[in-house]
Structure formats: structure tokens, C-alpha cells
Amino acid sequence: MTVTQQMHHPDLNLLMDILPEESEVSDTGELSIGGVPVGELARQYGTPAYIMDETGLRRQIRRFVQGMKSRRPNSEVLFASKSLPCVAMYAIAQAEGLSVDVAGGGELMMALTAGVNPGNIYLHGNAKSDAEIQMALAAGIRAIIVDNFNDLDRLEAMATKKQHVLLRMIPGITPATHASQVTGGNDSKFGLPPADITRAIERIARHPLLYFEGIHVHIGSQVLETEPFAQAVKSVAEFGSFDTYDVGGGLGVKYTYDEIAPSVEDYLDTLTEAAARLLPAEARLIIEPGRSLVARAGITLYSVNTVKTTGKTFVAVNGGMADNIDIALTGQRYEAVMASKIGAEPTVVADVVGRQCESGDLMCADVPLADPQVGDLVAMPATGAYAYTLANNYNGACKPPVIFCANGSSTLAVARETYEDLLRTQQPALQRRW
């Protein structure tokens, strides 16, 4: 393909479909999120920065919460908080009527700090420690999802008052998604094989303080069809009659102009129709969306640090795989736009790359860009899920801040890490030995 063939900028409607719902583009082509222009956000908080559209996020939460309640009154939507674990987000989840699932002690601590009612918290994990089980028991959380017999050993030994548990079963379903995002295949490290479930249920039933509520499955993430979710319902239904069936999360989202994702409504229709057909009428149905709740509400805002042409043209931004490792980890593709020049005629087709020392730190290939200059702002849409939470310190990067925007004002939810933060855990004593 020649440069001129590639050099078209996407239709504004295509872009608006992957930007947060409360996005606007000014007459001069400047993007704003929740009514706050990106230039203002960059001046106030610096870049890179994770910017969240709080209004769009709350609207999406309501689509799930109200959508589930209207289709199946005896149901519960848990925010899979691994997708965006920060105190501000836990507080929003609680205020909007979501329960939360936590994947370990750290997330549990943040949820409790945010004021989430312990009665709305569920604990997951395939390698829970004694300390984490103890924390969960002491907090009096709603349920612990038992993943294996060692979890059961610990619970049997440590429970001092009544504790509800669910059992995670391997459903043997492998939806079409990236291999690292399939969790429900027969050789999964998560959960117990179906053949072990009856034995686990019997053990729980024998314990005076443990109460067996039902079965949990999670088939994978970024699943772009609805049918596997009906299969997930079938896999738990086949196991018998319980109080609760938790079919996990996994609904995929639209990251790129050409990607097609099911709507929340289609997903809920498929799930609840399968549940109406296959589950006991009075049973509670739980889902655990993460990505599909928060991904679209977020963008990452970068500044251009370098523009250069070698065999191809590169626009290098001041972030990369340290703040969005999903691209390298799962092969997820994203789009990138010049955030203050939207709609301007492209002058170059370039690879937008990060600043980390890996050739795999390619953020977006062959992007038509309007005259990219050092200091220009670049926005990467649909980064509200699994970007902040997977951020790391590779090459000494400081994790970017998280900022929530609504109705023209912005609030800092997580501060930018500093070099002092990086040094805080380093031990100078060791340096002296060398």
C-alpha cells in the first residue's frame, strides 16, 4: 500500500464510537472529555495520563445494573475490579449499585477503603494466601469463591463464623479470543474440573460454618460473540440446582474502527434467556463484567517526544508498554489520534510507538497523522480497562495519574507516581556493599 492510499483520516463518527461517550471535538479540532479540553488536562496534570469520562462510565454501569434487574430481578452485577482498581472507582461502583469482585488482598483493601459494603464483596484467586483468606473472613465479605482444595483446607481451618462460598468450576469452553485471555478451557489454571465439584460440595456441606451457595465459571475476556455466554449458563445449569449461578465476565468491547462488539443489551438478552430456560426460576444469577464497564470511558493522553523517519516514520510518545502492556501481552490493537488536531488532513502515515526499550512497544501501526510535532497531544481511545491496573515501572517509568472528568471539571483520582515513589522501596544499604 502506498502512503497516499493509506492517507485518509477516519470518519469522525467512527472515532466517536470508540471515544468516551462524553467526548466533544471543538471547531479547532481539540478533543474534550467530560467537557474538559485535553490541552487543559495536559497543562494541569501532565502526560501521560489516564482520563476517565465519569458521566459515560456511570451511564454504562446503569445499562448493566438496570438491564440485569429488568430481565432477571434476582440477579447481581459485580464490577470485576481488576480492570480498574482505584479507590475512586470502587466508590462509584458502590454508589451506582454494583457489587465488586476482588482478586486479592490489595483490591480488597482498596474496596474497603472506598467504603464498599463488605456484604457486596466477593473474593477470587487461584492462589489465595492464609492472610488473604483471614482478611476476607475478618471483613465479613459476601462470599469467597473457592478455586481449589487448598482454599477449602484454609477455610475449614480458619472460619469462626458463617461464611458463604461459591465454587469455581472449569467450564471447558474456549471462546475465540487471545490465548492469554481464555480462562475456561479444560487445562485452565483457574477453578476445579467438573469431576471434582461434587467432592468439594460435600466437603463444604460437612463444615458447620461454611455455606455452599453455588457454582462460578468465567470463560475468558474480550469475547466478541454472545453465544459462549449462553454456553457458560448451560455449563453451570448441568451441575444441579443451587441458590446462585455466577457466570463471570468477559464481554468484549470495540477498540478499533473495524472491530464489532455485541451491545450490552444483546449480551444480557442472550444470558438471561439462557438462564430462564436452564436455571431454576428462583436462583440468583451473577455476572462479573470488568472491561465492558470501564474500557470505553477511558483514554490515555500522551505527548509526542520524537518524530523521525528511518525505514519508516515513527511518532514516539512519552509513554508505552509501561502504561499499556495489553498490546504486547494480548495482541490487543488500539487506535491513536492527534488529540488537538482531529479532522485535520493527514500529512504522514506513521507508527505510533512508545518510549520503552522493546521493539514490541508498538502502540499503533500505520496511522495517518496530521503534521505530528514534538509536544503535540496524542489520545489513545478505549484504555479505561486493564491499562492503569497493568501499569509497571519498566525503564523506570512512573505510573501515570488517573483523572475523572464530568460536567467540565476534572478530579485527580490517583496521583502520578514520582521518582521518590520509585526510590521508596530501594535499600541504600545494599549499594554500600558494592
Ligand X SMILES: Cc1ncc(COP(=O)(O)O)c(C=O)c1O
Which residue in 51, 48, 46, 53 sits closest to 22, CA to CA?
53
Helix (H) or strand (E) holding 410: strand 409-414
21 is in an annotated binding site: no
338 contacts 376 by C-beta, under 8 angstroms: yes
Q: Which of 250, 100, 116 is nearest to 178 (CA)?
A: 250
Question: Min. distance of Cβ 288 from ligand X in angstroms?
Answer: 4
- Taking the complex as a whole, how short is the minimal distance between the CB of residue 124 and ligand X, in angstroms? 5
Q: Which residue has the cell 496511522?
A: 367
3-state class of 428 per DSSP?
Answer: helix
Q: What DSSP character marks residue 36?
A: E
DSSP 8-class letter at 362: E
Q: Interface with ligand X by CB under 6 A: which range of 14-22, 77-85, 236-244, 324-332?
A: 77-85
Residue 175 interacts with ligand X (CB under 6 A)? no
CB of 291 to ligand X, least distance (A): 4
Of residues 176 and 357, the one with the C-beta less far from ligand X: 176
Q: In one letter, which amino acid is 364?
A: C
Strands of 115-254, DSSP E: 121-123, 143-146, 163-168, 210-216, 244-246
Instruction: Quote the CA–CA distance of 151 and 129 in Å, as a whole number.
Output: 8
Q: For ligand X, what does the binding mask look like between residues 214 and 233, x meaning CB under 6 A?
A: ----x--x------------
Over the window 367 to 406, marking each residue x when it contacts ligand X by CB under 6 A and - when it does not, the resulting string is ----------------------------------------
> 10: which DSSP letter?
P
Shortest Å, Cβ 266 to ligand X? 15
Q: Which residue, 94 or 389, has its beta carbon nearer to ligand X?
A: 389
Q: Which three cell numbers stand for residue 309?
A: 523517519
Catalytic, out of 86, 357, 364, 405: 357
What contacts 315, CB < 8 A, 6 or more positions away?
A: 304, 306, 307, 350, 351, 352, 353, 367, 369, 372, 378
Distance from C-alpha of 236 to C-alpha of 64, rounded to nearest angstrom:
21
Q: Contact between 48 and ligand X (CB under 6 A)?
A: no
N residues, the chain: 434
| Residue 288 vs 361, nearer CB to ligand X | 288
DSSP 249: -
Quick one: which segment of 108-116, 249-257, 297-305, 326-334 binds ligand X (CB under 6 A)? 249-257
386 carries a ligand binding annotation? yes
Min dist CB 215 to ligand X, Å, is 13
Using CB under 6 A, which of the segments 1-9, 42-50, 230-238, 288-296 binds ligand X? 288-296
Region from 10-18, 30-38, 244-252, 265-273 binding ligand X, contact rule CB under 6 A: 244-252
Which amino acid is located at 298 in the chain?
G
- Contact letters for ligand X, residues 96-125 (x by CB under 6 A): -----x----------------------x-
Binding mask 291-330 for ligand X (x = CB under 6 A): xx--------------------------------------
Annotated binding residue 291? yes
What are residue 31's DSSP bridge partners?
25
357 annotated active-site: yes
**Is 358 part of any known ligand binding site?**
yes
- Cβ nearer to ligand X, comparing 291 with 355: 291
Closer residue to ligand X, CB minimum distance, 101 or 376: 101
Minimum distance, C-beta of residue 205 to ligand X, in the bound complex (Å)? 24
Instruction: Measure the CA–CA gap between 264 and 246, rounded to whole angstroms.
Output: 17
Whether residue 250 is annotated as binding a ligand: the answer is: yes
Are the C-beta atoms of residues 111 and 98 closer than 8 Å to each other? no
Among residues 100, 145, 133, which one has the least CA distance to residue 118?
100
Judged by beta carbon, residue 124 or residue 341, the one nearer ligand X is: 124
Instruction: Give the binding-site size for ligand X (rule: CB under 6 A).
Output: 17
Q: Is 250 near ligand X (CB under 6 A)?
A: yes
For residue 344, how many other CB atoms are within 10 A of its CB? 14
User: Does residue 248 interact with ligand X by CB under 6 A?
Assistant: yes
Residue 168 and residue 185: Cα distance in Å, rounded?
13
Annotated binding site for pyridoxal 5'-phosphate: 250, 288-291, 386
Residues at the contact surface with ligand X, assessed by CB under 6 A? 80, 82-83, 101, 124, 183, 218, 221, 248-251, 288-292
List residues with catalytic annotation. Answer: 357
